[in-house]
Amino acid sequence: MFKNKINELNRVRKLLVSSAIAVFLLGCSTGEWSHDQKSTILGDCRAEGGTKKYCNCFLENIISQFPDPNEFEKIDFESAVKIAEECK
C-alpha cells in the first residue's frame, strides 16, 4: 500500500511538471484550453501509466478547476495530488 502511494505521488509529480511545461509551451493568450494543450496533457498522463479513464478525469478536473490554462501553470503539488486522487 505504501509503495503504491509513493508510486502514485511520483506519477502525479511527473505529470504535473510535464503538464505545466506543455501549457507554458503551448500557451495561448485567449484564456481557453487549446486542443493541443489538452492532447499533450492526456498524452503525458498516458505515458506515465494512467488509464484512458483516469487521464480523462484528470484533464476534466484540471479544466474545471483552472478554466484559464495560464492559471494552471501556478498549481502547487498538493492541489495536483487532490485532483489526481479524485480520479481513482
pLDDT in tens, 11-61: 665 665 556 555 544 444 467 899 999 999 999 999 989 999 999 999 999
The answer to whether the pTM exceeds 0.95 is no
Confidence of residue 75 (pLDDT cuts 50, 70, 90): confident
Distance CA 81, CA 13 (A): 8
For residue 4, give the C-alpha cell.
503504491
Contacts of 64 (CB under 8 A, 6+ apart): none
Q: What is the pLDDT of residue 5?
A: 54
Q: Identify the pLDDT of residue 31.
A: 77
Question: What does the DSSP 8-state code read for residue 67?
Answer: S
- Sign, CA dihedral 60-29-74-47, equals positive
pLDDT score of 28: 47
Please report, for the chain, the start and end positions of each structural domain, with discontinuous segments joined by +: 30-88
